[in-house]
Amino acid sequence: MNLFVILALVFFGSIFVIWMIARTGRSTLKASSQHMAGEIESSLADAFVFVNRQKTVAWSMFAMIGIPIIALLLTHSFLIAAATLPIALTLPKKFLARMRSKRIDALEQQLPDALLMMAGALRAGVSFPVALESAVHESAPPISQEFELLMREIRLGIDLDVAMRNAERRIPVPDFMMATAAITIAREVGGNLAEALESVANTLRAKLQMEGKIKALTSQGRMQGIVMTGLPLLVMAALFFLEPKAMGPLFHEPVGWATLAVIAVMEFLGYKSISKITNIDV
């Protein structure tokens, strides 16, 4: 009788502990996904990309749960599934960083033409707000969106220097800061703003041309880094499906786990080394 009571207590106690762990993990995962979704939503709103919070939470939870489950179903290894968990946690932020990077690249490409438009309007005798408005109407997003927000702040009575600093916080790139510095200095000193904008535009255009040449010359090295990094993984996946018994110890024994850890570290170091060589900042 006592043994039955002890077993019953152990059984129900285990169920209670598992239930508490599952509940705590669920609430933690939900809170983490909502926090991440809030950061993504606010960052995308700053980039003029508006998404639904519920959809963002759903995609974040899918990335954090689905990727390890898919890895477990494909490899039948809890170690590989656990190794994909950091990737699943950082994937939404990587996607956000990629979107912001593309937007900033588009801004840098459009900025010289927009500055030349403003310089031409200033030479025609209009004021700076009117020149800014003409650049808004003649330019395409995303530069038109940022200039329109700047123009609205000026119309609301915000000082031009404060509006420029707000724009610099939204677009933390050296090219845009150079343009805002030229506008601020010309406004304070009283120089020719049109000439200053033309000079900045020509400098930025020459910089973009140099960056384009560097990207063209280093494209082969970047592709070699991607191929050399992905080739061992593709060979490993092919051998896993062709010879599952021979590749089984690699995923189910400690020696294989150590080998995978060494492979992962060497792959990471090799890709970072090649990226460092081919990433030339002008």
Q: Is residue 54 packed enough to be buried (19+ CB in 10 Å), middle (13-18) or exposed (0-12)?
A: exposed
Q: Does residue 161 fall inside a structural domain? A: yes
Beta strands in the chain (DSSP E): none
If asked whether residues 153 and 225 sit together in one domain, one would say no
If asked whether residues 195 and 222 sit together in one domain, one would say no
Q: Does residue 191 fall inside a structural domain? A: yes
The residue behind tokens 């600093």 is 165
Q: Give the CA angle between residues 158, 159, 161 to the nearest 5°.
A: 130
Q: Does residue 102 fall inside a structural domain? A: no
Q: Does residue 100 fall inside a structural domain? A: no
If asked whether residues 145 and 178 sit together in one domain, one would say yes
- pLDDT at residue 31, as a whole number: 57
- pLDDT at residue 129, as a whole number: 83
Are 171 and 114 a contacting pair, CB within 8 Å?
Answer: no
- pLDDT at residue 17, as a whole number: 47
What is the C-alpha to C-alpha distance for residues 211 and 104, in angstroms, rounded to an integer? 15
Which of 66, 83, 100 is at the close of a domain? 83
Q: Does residue 90 fall inside a structural domain? A: no
- 16-22, long-range: CB < 8 A, 24+ apart: none
Q: What total of structural domains would you count in the chain?
A: 3
CB neighbourhood size of 17 (10 A)? 10
Which of 63, 83, 103 is at the close of a domain? 83
pTM of the model: 0.66
pLDDT along the chain (282 residues), means of 10: 51 52 54 56 55 63 75 72 74 76 85 89 84 86 85 84 83 83 80 85 88 85 85 85 82 81 86 82 66
Q: Does residue 241 fall inside a structural domain? A: yes
What is the C-alpha to C-alpha distance for residues 152 and 40, in angstroms, rounded to an integer? 25
Q: Does residue 107 fall inside a structural domain? A: no
| Domain span at 139 | 113-207
Q: Is residue 132 packed enough to be buried (19+ CB in 10 Å), middle (13-18) or exposed (0-12)?
A: buried
If asked whether residues 148 and 176 sit together in one domain, one would say yes
